[in-house]
Amino acid sequence: MPELPEVETVVRSIRPHLCGRVITGAWHDWPRVFGNDDPNIVTARLENRQIRGVDRRGKYILISLDQGVLSIHLRMTGRLYVAEKEAVHDADRWVHFRLELDDGRALRFSDSRKFGRVRLGDQVATAIPELGWEPFDPRFTAAVLAEALHNRQRPIKVMLLDQTIIAGIGNIYADESLHMAGIHPATPALQLGGAQIEGLYTAIQAVLAQAITHEGASINWYRKPDGSRGAAQDSLHVYGREGQPCHTCGWPIARTTIAQRGTHYCPRCQVPPTQ
Ligand SMILES: [Zn+2]
């Protein structure tokens, strides 16, 4: 599933093509893309709206309109790209939602598994669920992270995946952040000391920033809006590297399951929690 760096890459790529454009029509062939909302009402409300901005919150893409906000969640297999009317793209066969624009182009939402969702709200708060901290928000500090983890029994990996605590981290970057910080993913949050939490805070920011620089990880479905692959998968230290040597100590990377998610770590660099 695309995480913060992948969604950020999509947002940066489509933003210049969308800002200032007027939506001339909205097309769909899959009502569930709107969740429980009435497709006819949503598409009618999108018509003639001007796009004012394209941003990201957690793993959500936010398209601000002169009236309302459209959120798009890519989920498993969603791809988003702007294309000329007649242009043919590899992912077109899975397009189930499209915004037509006044310059003749269209924003196409391709999604083979059809788990992706589009939601129109009056404002951001009604377009997306309530989310936790943005990792790059200057108000999100190591002290804030320590407060969020205080007295929590759940494994730190589970806490990092909880979008109501920190928004945007998924399975890849949770594993990578914990490895960089030298913390075993099963460690109950309350066992972490101040120095460990500071290290984790620094690791989260470093891991996400580097993945944005590499324009996301194309491990499964994710592609950049121009159809090409991101490069972040080439710099991963643990995720997807089971049995391969740790880049730090040479020990084979291990894989376990935490909260039903495949979890990768180095058994030497990330010491298991005390019972
Ligand atoms: Zn190691």
153-206 pLDDT per residue, tens: 999 999 999 999 999 999 999 999 999 999 999 999 999 999 999 999 999 999
C-alpha 223 to ligand 1 mean position (Å): 30
DSSP structure class, residue 206: H
Burial class (CB in 10 A: 0-12, 13-18, 19+), 196: middle
Say whether 268 is catalytic.
Answer: no
Task: Using the predicted structure, report yes or no on whether residue 275 has a pLDDT greater than 90.
Answer: no
Spacing, Cα 184 to ligand 1 middle (Å): 11
Contact 185, 270 (CB under 8 A): yes
Give 80's DSSP letter: E
Active-site pick, 45, 261, 267, 273: 261
What are the φ and ψ backbone dihedral angles of 59, each rounded to 5 degrees? -100, 15
Residue 210 pLDDT > 90: yes
How many angstroms separate the alpha carbon of residue 190 from the centre of ligand 1?
24
DSSP, collapsed to helix, strand or coil, labels residue 107 as strand
Residue 17 pLDDT > 80, yes or no? Answer: yes
The catalytically annotated residue of 21, 49, 56, 59 is 59
180 CA from centroid of ligand 1 (Å): 10
Q: How confident is the model at residue 221 (pLDDT cuts 50, 70, 90)?
A: confident
Catalytic residue flag (residue 242): no
* Token reading at 92: 């077109």
pLDDT at 274: 78
Active site includes 3?
A: yes
Alpha helices in 105-193 (DSSP H): 124-127, 142-149, 156-161, 171-181
**The pLDDT value given to residue 220:** 83
- How remote is the CA of residue 249 from the centroid of ligand 1, in Å? 4
